[in-house]
Structure 1
Amino acid sequence: MKQSKHANLKKFLFDLKTKILKPKIHRSHIRAENELKSGQIETLNFEKRKHMINHAFQNTAFYKTKYQDNRDLLDMKNKDDFQKLPPVTRDDLAMNFEKFIAGNPSSKTYRKVSSSGSTGRPISVLHDTRFPYTVLQWRILGWWNVKPYENQAFIYRYKRPFLKRLGNNLLWWPTRRIFLTGAEMNLRNVERFVKQINTFRPALLQGYVDVVYEFALFLLDNDLKIHPPKMVWVTSAPLFENQRKTMEAAFGAPVCDQYGNTEVFTIAAECPQQNGLHIMHDSVHVEIVDENNSPVPAGTTGKILITDLHNEIFPLIRYEIGDRGKLLDTVCSCGIPLPLMDNVRGRQSVVLKTPSGLTVRSEHLTILFEKLMNTIREVQLIQNKDYSVELRYVFNSDKCVEDEVKTILKELKIKTRDEIDIIPIKVDELQTKSNKKPLIISKLS
């Protein structure tokens, strides 16, 4: 009874603060959910694309030049017209940042963010804060029966500033939001975090794939138990299936995979059925195309093009985001009226190369490692300037992985046609680049 009253108080204060302090989020949340229930998602998506194309052409220097030879397509009668528009590349973004900005927006209406450059050329974009993407996160939480006012636990790579933590605590009170810093993850801090979790029983555990996985390993290695959350939400990198299984064993909860990045935070996410990722089709348009930028059938892997349907300050239309994936033609039994795409396995800009010009994409390696890795915890490929590759791996010291390493080496040699030397190296920790632990780090120019 006491817990029920406390939950009701949290909900009441959350609703009150949202309506008073964050009315934009409240209105956007209601509007987004009404759109989802309307049964007109496809029509809404089409009309939003049409609006964004004309808005970009009229208000940005970049698209005014980009679409000069395609002005007859701007009225967009059908999907074929849209697909004839030339895609935008990361190089376009890197070299024309100012020209992407629509008009002269107030600094109160945007937030500048930059990619780390860990998977390619660093770029910057402006996020249009007039559409709060928090509403999409609330939508995903709702699929998993997690209320935004319930207690939540987060694992960040680095410690947040004291004033930011204090402000966050005051804003969310009486909801408790607890944090663990990945860069300071040791047994003492983990045990403190475990105690907090078992005290406040958060409904959600969220963080980047690598640090949440590291926390799971700490729990298993030290026989630590936590009160199971309703779901674990991981972001920022492809999720290996062996990582998912390890996390679910450690946390006693399902793991939700999400797809998003610096340019567009929330693109797609899993529902509890886990039959792929539901695309936020009322907020973003996703295309899968071949090397000639022609659409490929569902179930076929290709380049991902993204159109942000809400960012009017910094329009991104048919933007080649640097990832590879595939659309699914299946219908999820959950009843959510959003199309599906497969879990994203890798970035096209990150590859292994051989002297003959052969490239091996990261998504192929991700699938390979998912099949072969049983006792190895983590793996990473470092390609040196002479094309040789260091196969770095982390595993439990009490388990023999010699045969597993030999199998992986054999498969890698097949994929690279035995053109390069591959040297296995046991390490205690993988290398980081721009605060991440990428699958491939290339030193080739």
Structure 2
Amino acid sequence: MFKIFDFSLKVNGFAIDEAKLDFKHILEVPEEDYEAYILQKKKEIVDFHLQNNAFYQKLANGKNVDNWYNLPVLTKKDLQKPLSERFSKGYFEKSVFVNKTSGSSGHPFIFAKDKYCHALTWASIIYRFGWFGIDFNTSYQARFYGIPLGFIGNKKERLKDFLGRRYRFPIFDLSDAFLEEVLLKFKKAKFDHINGYTSSIVLFAKFLKRKNIVLKDVCPTLKACFVTSEMLFAEDKIVLQKQFGIEIINEYGASELDLIAFENKNGEWQVNSETLFVEILDDNNQPVENGKEGKIVITSLYNKAHPFIRYEIGDIGILDEKSTTKKPILKQLIGRTNDVALLPSGKKSPGLTFYYVTKSIIEDDGNVREFVIKQQKIDTFEVEYVSEIALCEQQILKIEDAISLYLEPNLKFTFIRKAVLERTSRGKLKQFSSYL
């Protein structure tokens, strides 16, 4: 059978057959030898960039490069300079994979991967989706993503969707009228999996709930749903499972790296230890024990075109105590480091705490479809929401009481009802933002 997806990668210069074979060999490294494999790959990638990358040489200048913990921790701000200044010797824009981060962290930048590294990324993705019976060469994906609105960008994405056997539902309009069209497409098409931004897929599930429809009943070929890019709350996962009637899988990745963690068949967020090395560090860039929270810092073990060595991705997380070198488990993804609310008492709280507490009350009756929270001043917050009926005073008081109980009292909230919520240019919904 003709493998159209693999063929599209090869046409673009990505040696997917070689990458799949090499990835298989990495998987075969036994647990007792895995630490040595990681140490070797860390040394190889650091040595390569110290010898071939002027940008990284400058960052590491004066450091004792023989000690891993003395190597600099890269931030997104470090990378906000022309890509041409960050290339390794022998790599150029036309000979590599180039893309741009979404900017959801507040620090967008253009990045590069050499073509072999990007092929390995696809080998990693293909392997993990395979856990759930998804074959990119034969499977048909219902894709809930943003799409460029410009003519050329739009056509390029549509072509990639065709080659990738995907049908894209643009998520900038999530009205009931649009979701009716989505439902109609599911009735007609033989999709076998769903992939896309969490908030949009959850909104579709809530639409189905109001209509008392289980998606698997109208699209029997469906096997699984993969949600990404935004937090999936436990309550929302229950709604998705009930209204879709299929497995719900949570993934965590970054376009500049790879899949970082992917929910396995046991419901664990299994960290990618094949192409990445993931660390959890404290504020002084020192490692914390498994079970304790810290900054997520990642090394791309194979990217020679551009250094991502000890790269602070901007998220906070916890590795499970039962993690091993070969099979690290992400126990919890807490949120972004720049999504922290500073409160009048001096307390710092992850912004998603506000979102979570408010969510537990605001969506009780299904009236409120979506909402976001914005911190305007140290004691002042705005809640923008989309609903059939405006929130009543009793509901608002209940939310304020819960915030006082779980966080601290005397915070001021303004509730603003909107027809639609603002999303990023790629269609992501930023659930909490601080403007301090």
**TM-score higher than 0.5 here?**
yes
- Mapped to 1, the partners of 2:62 and 2:329 lie a distance apart of 33
Query: 1:353: how far off?
Result: 2.6
**In the alignment, residue 106 of structure 2 is paired with which amino acid?**
G
**In the alignment, residue 129 of structure 1 is paired with which amino acid?**
K
Pair 1:321-2:309 in alignment = no
TM-score, normalised relative to structure 1: 0.83
Q: Which residue of 2 aligns with 1:208?
A: 197
Query: 1:349: how far off?
Result: 0.8
Name which of 374, 389, 401 aligns with 1:382: 374
Name which of 242, 246, 249 aligns with 1:249: 242
**In the alignment, residue 423 of structure 2 is paired with which amino acid?**
T
* Contact residue 41 and residue 282 of structure 1 kept, 8 A: no
For 2:384, what is the secondary structure of its paired residue? Answer: strand
Q: Which residue of 2 aligns with 1:127?
A: 113
Q: Which residue of 1 aligns with 2:135?
A: 147
Pair 1:349-2:338 in alignment = yes
**In the alignment, residue 285 of structure 1 is paired with which amino acid?**
F
**In the alignment, residue 79 of structure 2 is paired with which amino acid?**
L
**In the alignment, residue 380 of structure 1 is paired with which amino acid?**
V
Pair 1:219-2:208 in alignment = yes
- Mapped to 2, the partners of 1:57 and 1:16 lie a distance apart of 34
Per-residue CA distance 1:114-161 (angstroms, 9 max, x = gap):
334343233332233322222111111111122222222212223672
* Contact residue 179 and residue 193 of structure 1 kept, 8 A: no
Pair 1:267-2:260 in alignment = yes
TM-score, normalised relative to structure 2: 0.84
- Mapped to 2, the partners of 1:161 and 1:320 lie a distance apart of 31
**In the alignment, residue 361 of structure 1 is paired with which amino acid?**
P
For 2:383, what is the secondary structure of its paired residue? Answer: strand
Query: 1:51: how far off?
Result: 0.7
Q: Which residue of 2 aligns with 1:138?
A: 126
Per-residue CA distance 1:228-265 (angstroms, 9 max, x = gap):
52111111111122222222222111211111124324
* Contact residue 197 and residue 428 of structure 2 kept, 8 A: no
Pair 1:296-2:288 in alignment = yes
- The range that moved more, 250-259 or 418-427, is 418-427
**In the alignment, residue 57 of structure 2 is paired with which amino acid?**
K
* Contact residue 161 and residue 168 of structure 2 kept, 8 A: no
Indicate the percent of aligned positions where both proteins have the same amino acid: 25
* Contact residue 239 and residue 345 of structure 1 kept, 8 A: no
- Mapped to 2, the partners of 1:92 and 1:16 lie a distance apart of 35
Query: 1:307: how far off?
Result: 0.6
- Mapped to 1, the partners of 2:259 and 2:401 lie a distance apart of 38
- Mapped to 2, the partners of 1:303 and 1:331 lie a distance apart of 17
- Mapped to 2, the partners of 1:86 and 1:163 lie a distance apart of 37
* Contact residue 180 and residue 190 of structure 1 kept, 8 A: no
CA-based RMSD of the aligned residues comes to 3.1
**In the alignment, residue 142 of structure 1 is paired with which amino acid?**
G
Pair 1:55-2:44 in alignment = no
- Mapped to 2, the partners of 1:386 and 1:18 lie a distance apart of 51
Query: 1:438: how far off?
Result: 1.0
Matched residues, number = 418
Name which of 13, 24, 27 aligns with 1:33: 24
C-alpha change, 1:124 and 1:418, in structure 2 (3 Å) is farther
Q: Which residue of 2 aligns with 1:279?
A: 271
C-alpha change, 1:424 and 1:66, in structure 2 (3 Å) is same
Pair 1:437-2:429 in alignment = yes
C-alpha change, 1:155 and 1:433, in structure 2 (3 Å) is closer
Q: Which residue of 2 aligns with 1:306?
A: 298
* Contact residue 355 and residue 373 of structure 2 kept, 8 A: no
Unpaired runs of at least 5, structure 1: 1-8, 75-80
Query: 1:68: how far off?
Result: 2.6
For 2:333, what is the secondary structure of its paired residue? Answer: coil
Unpaired runs of at least 5, structure 2: none
Output aligned runs, 1:74-113, within 5 Å: 74=66, 81-95=67-81, 98-113=84-99
- Mapped to 2, the partners of 1:17 and 1:136 lie a distance apart of 17
Query: 1:58: how far off?
Result: 1.1
- Mapped to 2, the partners of 1:432 and 1:15 lie a distance apart of 30
C-alpha change, 1:345 and 1:16, in structure 2 (3 Å) is closer
